[in-house]
Amino acid sequence: MRFEPTDDQRDLAGALEGLLSASDTVAVARAWADGDTAAGLALWRRLADLGVTMLATEASPVEVAIAFEALGRHAVPGPWVESAAYLPIALGHEVEGVATLALPPLVPFALDADVADQVYVGATPTDQVGAQHPSVDRARRLFEVTGTAETHPEALDLAVLATSAQLLGAGERVLADSVAYVKQRKQFGRQIGSYQAIKHCLADVRIALDFARPLVVGAALGEVPASAAKVAAADAAYLASRTGLQVHGAIGYTAEFDLSVWITKIRALVSAWGTPAHHRALLLGSLVDSRDGTDR
């Protein structure tokens, strides 16, 4: 597979990077986790003005993946996958404002239902929002909702792709911050990044992310299953978070250090919109079905 982004896609990536780099997204995510959603909703409106919420219906999955990688790289909080990936396809039109959904049993809780203008079970509106459940990521508030729904396969694939792109972006951010840290931190008079053990760990993360990226792009182009992108991106981002935690040492465990924003987000996204085991089972099933068809 050979893929080169178009000039418009590069412009979209550049515009998102410029906006998010100037928006102090870590402070936005911390405030969102503490229940102060004003800055997060203001950022939501600016991203919507840039066209992020209309990409699913007016552009292609490639543009969706570009946008969600930027959202993951900057740890932007909120139900973006629900509002800008699943629901626009399931409803057939762009979502106005903030929306969220549950899709039992794959997505048992509605993310950030307390701030959403519209809450759905699948594509059916509901006002039956129940108890809140904690997430490992404090910026993700999970709510019970009542109802049953049918899964929209195309919308689900786009949601899985968007989550994969978020994981890719978050993994890239953790790797970049880890490389910057090991070039500054000294031990025994040397930068810790000069030790081979540190280099090898970070190189393994680089390789994992580089192997995951073609699968995310391939899923956006419809050439590989979205489940393959989710498995590879989740594994790569999780490796990035574990390695980032190791090379940062004890400070990496502190909630006050910004690394924690991405580590907890990655841990939550690994299981969001289907666990790795779920997506591996789907891939295995498709391979077995394909083999059975060939043997006939």
Q: What is the pLDDT of residues 175-209, one digit of tens each?
A: 999 999 999 999 889 999 999 999 999 999 999 99
pLDDT at 1: 67
Closest CA to 82 of 25, 133, 145, 19: 145
pLDDT at 158: 98
pLDDT at 258: 94
**Given phi > 0 = left and psi -120 to 50 = alpha, else beta, which region is 110?**
beta
Sorting pLDDT into bands at 50, 70 and 90, what band is 95?
very high
Work out the angle between the directed axes of helices 226-248 and 259-271 (0-180°, nearest 10).
150
Q: What is the pLDDT of residues 206-235, one digit of tens each?
A: 999 999 999 999 999 999 999 999 999 999
Please give the model's pTM, rounded to 2 decimal places: 0.95
pLDDT at 29: 97
Q: How far apart are CA 278 and CA 284, in angstroms?
A: 10
Sorting pLDDT into bands at 50, 70 and 90, what band is 296?
very low
C-beta of residue 213 within 8 angstroms of C-beta of residue 241: no
Q: What is the pLDDT of residues 22-34, one digit of tens each?
A: 999 999 999 999 9
**Given phi > 0 = left and psi -120 to 50 = alpha, else beta, which region is 112?**
left
Question: Is pLDDT above 90 for 149?
Answer: no
Question: Is pLDDT above 90 for 290?
Answer: no
- Mean pLDDT across the chain, nearest whole number? 94
